[in-house]
Amino acid sequence: MSAPAVDLRRITKRFPGVIANDEVDLTVERGSVHALLGENGAGKTTLMNVLYGLYQPTAGTVVIDGEERAFDSPRDAIDAGVGMIHQHFMLVEPMTVTQNVVLGNEPRKWGGLAVDRQRAREEVAALADRYGFDVDPTATVEDLSVGEQQRIEILKALYRGADVLILDEPTAVLTPQEVEELFGVFEELTDAGKTIIFISHKLSEVTTAADEVTVLRDGKNVGSVETDDVTDTELAEMMVGREVLFDTDKPPVEVGSIGLAARDLVVEDDRGVSAVDGVDLQVAEGEVFGIAGVDGNGQSELVDALTGLRAPAAGRVYLGDADVTDAPRRQRIDDGMAFIPEDRQARGLVMSYDLTENGLLGSQRDPQFGSAGRIRWDDAEAHAEEIIEEYDVRPADTEASAESLSGGNQQKFIVGREFARDPEAVIASHPTRGVDVGSVEFIHERLLALRQAGTAVLLVSSKLDEVRSLSDRLGVMHDGELVDVVDPETVTEEQLGLLMAGERPPDVPRAVTRAGGDQ
């Protein structure tokens, strides 16, 4: 039998005060798809960063194709045939597909004096063709959908000779259709002898797309199993070490008056084009209003306008009875608006601050933490400790900087901080993105507890099962418009998919309006 494509032997990686990987073994056979699963902070990204040469292990050996390797940088890993596709793409948007794919490795002509553009185009087209990728090498990257951009990243790795492809949560930003396409790409690649390792939090995707799965817990490998031999429930238990319930219990709630509303809202994007085109919506106290849609159909701009990050070009925003259209963000927070942003690193946290400081963000003027501009740091620290404990943020250290936390733990901290404000209205944008199953369950429970307590919740999510199970009414956004408001319980996945694609399927069940006031 040939040597495995990847063989990690007793990899240990320590950071100050943390053992991120603790003698982890991982064997991945050539031509297979291997999933890496584990709670937030379990050490998945760290292990892959070791394999990709971004980190040097404290101890242990990396063996590729039977050959022991020591990578000092990703350059070494790429030379050994290991490529990595990060969650945040590293493409140059104004450039073409071809320019991006060959970037840094351009074929040359005239004795190396000039880039051979024609050859570059031909090579990229041939590569795309070989793996069945439907891409136009002359297209500009910024005009492509997220799924297409991801395929360009994969092409880039293949162009550099990758035999092993590592993908960090590749499905987090994709629509259900794009996820299917990506899994099709996985098949093409493995048929051609490539090896794929992907990190995921979605159990159903792991069992669908992977041949084998390895579960990490607290930095250790707790088991590698073939996906044919394991159920979602068993995997969840391996991850968290306890039973995880998948049912969301949503008790009936008596709704109150309007907690959050938008009227005829028009919002322009960064290029001055209308991204939100006359949206009307009302969220009652005690109601979860979900918004489903393919990313990039105006959801982000809508959320920006509601939270005060972007001034609308027309229309009004209301928090309770108050018109807050022109109110600064700070005032909206003071008036009871909590916000879980889509981009947690840019808008949810200050990455270089520690958790005590991050726990204060938005509450600096709250008398709970001081007066006359002086902050009582003991109280601020106690507050951060409460969030850490309640939301199981790891490491449980108020002095840890936000940037030293894993992505999912950063998210849990933001959610904890925002929910602790006891808000009148919550705007939650992809609140469980990158969060492990145990924590997803917890965040869902807390969202429903807020609903129970009479908070108006606007939930934007690209996870259809999430918006369907939590929402009382579900709006679908397409091309800047709220094209329909449907009953999340009875609408079918197919109807939703069509609405999200801008079509008008028949017999869509309309949502029943229960909110007070006119609708």
Q: Residues in the site for ligand ATP, rule: CB under 6 A?
A: 15, 18, 20, 38, 40-46, 394-395, 404-409, 434, 436
Helix (H) or strand (E) holding 483, with range, is strand 481-486
Q: Please identify, using beta-carbon distances, which residue of 86 and 514 lies nearer to ligand ATP.
A: 86
Helices vs. strands in the chain: H and E counts, helices first: 16, 24
CB of 30 to ligand ATP, least distance (A): 25
CB of 296 to ligand ATP, least distance (A): 24
CB of 196 to ligand ATP, least distance (A): 17
Contacts 24+ apart (CB under 8 A), 223-230: 224/26, 224/27, 227/35
Q: Please identify, using beta-carbon distances, which residue of 332 and 344 lies nearer to ligand ATP.
A: 344
CB of 286 to ligand ATP, least distance (A): 32
- Residue 94, judged by CB atoms within 10 A of its CB (0-12, 13-18, 19+), counts as exposed
Q: Please identify, using beta-carbon distances, which residue of 324 and 405 lies nearer to ligand ATP.
A: 405
Query: Measured in whole angstroms, how far is the alpha carbon of residue 293 from the centre of its chain?
Result: 15
Sorted by sequence, the CB contacts under 8 Å of residue 285 that are 6+ apart come out as 255, 256, 257, 258, 259, 424, 454, 455, 456
Q: Please identify, using beta-carbon distances, which residue of 297 and 410 lies nearer to ligand ATP.
A: 410
Which of 266, 262, 313 minimizes the C-alpha distance to 460? 262
Q: Please identify, using beta-carbon distances, which residue of 20 and 450 lies nearer to ligand ATP.
A: 20
Token pair recorded at residue 327: 């109110």
User: What are the CA-CA distances from residue 10 to residues 83, 196, 220, 233, 356 (Å)?
Assistant: 22, 21, 10, 28, 35
Q: How far is residue 43's CA from residue 57's CA, in Å, rounded to a whole number?
A: 13
Sorted by sequence, the CB contacts under 8 Å of residue 131 that are 6+ apart come out as 155, 158, 185, 188, 189, 192
Q: How far is residue 124's CA from residue 406's CA, in Å, rounded to a whole number?
A: 35
Token pair recorded at residue 412: 């849990």
Q: Please identify, using beta-carbon distances, which residue of 101 and 199 lies nearer to ligand ATP.
A: 199
Q: Please identify, using beta-carbon distances, which residue of 310 and 433 lies nearer to ligand ATP.
A: 433
Q: Please identify, using beta-carbon distances, which residue of 260 and 400 lies nearer to ligand ATP.
A: 400
CB of 406 to ligand ATP, least distance (A): 3
Q: Could you count the other beta carbons within 10 Å of the beta carbon of residue 351?
A: 15
Which of 84, 5, 80 minimizes the C-alpha distance to 72? 80
CB of 17 to ligand ATP, least distance (A): 8
CB of 19 to ligand ATP, least distance (A): 8
Type of residue at 136: D
CB of 397 to ligand ATP, least distance (A): 9
Q: Please identify, using beta-carbon distances, which residue of 172 and 281 lies nearer to ligand ATP.
A: 172
End-to-end CA distance of the chain: 67
CB of 284 to ligand ATP, least distance (A): 34
Residue nearest to ligand ATP (CB): 408
CB of 42 to ligand ATP, least distance (A): 4
Q: Please identify, using beta-carbon distances, which residue of 18 and 327 lies nearer to ligand ATP.
A: 18
How many CA atoms, within 13 angstroms, populate the side-chain half-sphere of residue 114?
6
